[in-house]
Structure 1
Amino acid sequence: MRALVQRVSEARVVIDGRTHGEIGAGLLVLVCAERGDGEAQAGRLLAKLLKLRIFGDEAGRMNRSVQDLDGAGRCGGLLIVSQFTLAADTSGGNRPSFGAAAPPDEGRRLYEHFVAQARRLHPVVATGEFGADMKVHLVNDGPVTIPLQVPPAGA
């Protein structure tokens, strides 16, 4: 599974002109299930995401995770958005191939599993809508953008 994580001051997803999900300070997480991924990969990616230390401490160093913000009297949100285009392969030319992405039914199942587990482990979780035409608005804080990947089983 892959994710592109952006530290944000605020972010929201708009679908058909209406805000579907939004957060204040926290992480915008674009997530993609790939062929061969399962619940184990989703769990490992989520664990890595929740512990990723990209928020500043008292000295301004990136030493706090989104969960540490909650302990600091602030609650960092997660805005989780499905994005199969993270599986793009451009090695064969200028038109991306998405053959590495999980099939839609499996991608939806793993996205929904990822979101359900995030909601179980973190107090503030908002989402986009799998397969929808979404407009994502964000204020990238830093900017800080981090790619994360958990390889499929056997890779």
Structure 2
Amino acid sequence: MEVNVMENIFLLVLVTLLSALQNAFFAHKVEKECKSDNSKTTAFERVYCANRNCMDTYPTFIAVMWCAGICLSQAPASFAGLVYLAVRQKYFVGYMGQISQSTPGFLFGKRILSFLFLMSMVGVLNHLLSHYLATDYKDYIQTVTNAASALLLLP
């Protein structure tokens, strides 16, 4: 792979690999709970449901993170991806306790996915503007996006 291309996607690749490790961790938790003596307990149902919910949103997360990283800027997209992984971990652990403990992680995760989707749409819009109107705002948008990505840490 060409070095320049790899530099443009390296952070996205790292976050994707970390998310794969996290998925393996979640699967291990489900397997461990399944092999316990009380495999049909509420603990198993909670772990299984939390894993299923995380798997349901995983394709959306990967798609918007990669689109935001490629269309606009990989650094804020990767940062948002890392924050999303932390939030997903909080959601999973919260779901294993009481389901109400998982709500903040769920809502925070939706906010991060919305941010990544917005980044993707702005990147696509900027590409269309530069292609058809010969106006490129990518530098300005990247500056705003880099600053806005820090706002993701606010609760």
TM-based fold match above 0.5: no
Whose helix fraction is larger, Structure 1's or Structure 2's?
Answer: 2
More RCO (CA 8 Å, sep 6+):
1
TM-score, normalised to structure 1's length?
Answer: 0.25
TM-score, normalised to structure 2's length?
Answer: 0.25
Q: Which has the larger radius of gyration?
A: 2
